[in-house]
Amino acid sequence: MNTKEVRAFFEQTDVYLTYNYNLRIRAETVGHFIRDLRFEKALDMPCGTGDISAPHLDHFGHLTMMDFSENMIATSKKRVPESEHHKVSFVRGDFYDHNFAPHSFDLVMNIGILAHIKDPLGFLEKTIRLVKPGGYLILQNTDSDHWFARLIHMYLGFRRLVGKDKYALNKVRQADVLEIASREGLQLIDSFAYNQSFLGLSRLFSNDLKYKLTRRYFGDVTDKKHQKSGSDATFIFQKPML
């Protein structure tokens, strides 16, 4: 995977926001996961446009929002009210170049990253170490073994063939993600799965309609439907106390 091409893609916030029905679903999923929890220190990495974590600032004593995209950081700053900036750190940089100490956070959110980085499973092991004992990890992944994910990769392969896409997304199996989480002693608390892509038909529907269709078929965390049909899953894990 070419890091420069990934960076260039995510500097295009307008492209990212084209699919904001996904951001809405993910933000609502995270909101449900943490509805009864409060965290002293939380990390949202990559924070993207801030739409996932900024709506839930009441749950954080301090939030670090990190992304390697300058435009993403600039957009995320706009998502945080000026009155709340004192409790948020905005960090533009590469996670691998930033020396976070182990057990630095009682919540780490990694949403929309495993498909785009080198060695995603190695990254997962590294990010788990940042979670304090008793803390939580919220992780999103598209299961490459799922039949719908295979359709997505075929579709994106065609787009690369005709020059519309620059790089191939990682293929990360859900079984591998869950195996690493289990090996590290994490307990799976909850999950929600749906399909984040309408393939080549996406432009035919408004974001509002895509959101409604997705909710109608897959439901939400409180009323899950057709979960085996969903290739894109968001999990919340808890690390055991020492």
Specify the pTM.
0.89
Distance CA 53, CA 77 (A): 12
- CATH number corresponding to 3-238: 3.40.50.150
pLDDT at 19: 60
Distance CA 33, CA 158 (A): 36
Query: Could you say which residues of the chain have pLDDT below 70?
Result: 1-19, 155, 158-160, 163-167, 200-202
pLDDT at 20: 84
Sheet containing strand 60-67, strands side by side:
88-92, 60-67, 39-44, 105-110, 131-142, 232-238, 187-194
pLDDT at 135: 98
pLDDT at 162: 73
> How high does pLDDT run on average in the chain?
89
pLDDT at 2: 47
Q: Which helix (H) or strand (E) holds 13?
A: helix 13-18
Backbone angles phi, psi at 216, to 5 degrees: -65, -40
pLDDT at 26: 95
Distance CA 238, CA 213 (A): 31
Domain ranges for the chain, please list them.
3-238
